[in-house]
């Protein structure tokens, strides 16, 4: 009975803890992302390889923004079970969504802080960080956003 308690109790406690902390962290992160998306909304970030014809570029540079977001125990648990049945791994969707938007916001923030007005040819790359102890599960996701930041004479 004690053995059962340990076998069941510890993972269960971890799951409950991870669920609540994970949800709280996610809520806070989304709030911060939304706030920054509003703040930097007037900075164009587009996938065009050339600048729109009306822009008069004075300066340009390569710029990057990246983030590594960790998986929580609860999400990993859900993803592990989902792999048995197949289908959408819903638990990881919000993780990717957060990572992409965060990387994009960091890209914009960096551009603005250095006095650039827009970013063109934006690319996004995703990379998984393998868990050191167990290569089957992931420790986190890295998203890299990069593009060419441009300074404009006639800033939009």
Q: Which of 79, 70, 88 is nearest to 25 (CA)?
A: 70
Phi/psi at 142 (5° precision):
-110, 130
Cβ nearer to another protein, comparing 41 with 132: 41
Binding another protein by CB under 8 A: which of 17, 46, 58, 114?
46
Is 44 a binder of another protein (CB under 8 A)?
A: yes
Question: What whole-number distance in Å separates Cα of residue 109 and Cα of residue 104?
Answer: 9
Min dist. Cβ of residue 109 to another protein (A) = 14
Q: Which of 24, 25, 23, 28 is nearest to 74 (CA)?
A: 23
Residues lying near another protein in the complex (CB under 8 A): 1, 4, 7-8, 11, 19, 23, 34, 37-38, 41-42, 44-50, 52-54, 74-94, 96-97, 100, 104, 122-128, 134, 136-138, 141, 156
């Amino acid at each position: 009975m004690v053995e059962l308690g340990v076998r069941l109790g510890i993972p269960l406690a971890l799951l409950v803890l991870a669920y609540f902390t994970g949800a709280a962290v996610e809520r806070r992160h989304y709030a911060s992302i939304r706030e920054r998306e509003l703040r930097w909304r007037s900075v164009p970030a587009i996938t065009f390889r050339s600048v729109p014809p009306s822009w008069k570029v004075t300066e340009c540079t390569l710029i990057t923004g990246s983030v590594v977001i960790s998986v929580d125990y609860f999400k990993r648990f859900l993803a592990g079970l989902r792999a048995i049945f197949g289908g959408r791994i819903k638990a990881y969707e919000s993780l990717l969504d957060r990572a992409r938007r965060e990387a994009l916001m960091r890209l914009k923030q960096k551009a603005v802080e250095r006095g650039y007005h827009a970013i063109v040819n934006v690319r996004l790359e995703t990379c998984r960080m393998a868990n050191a102890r167990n290569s089957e599960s992931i420790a986190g996701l890295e998203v890299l956003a990069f593009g060419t930041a441009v300074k404009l004479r006639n800033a939009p």
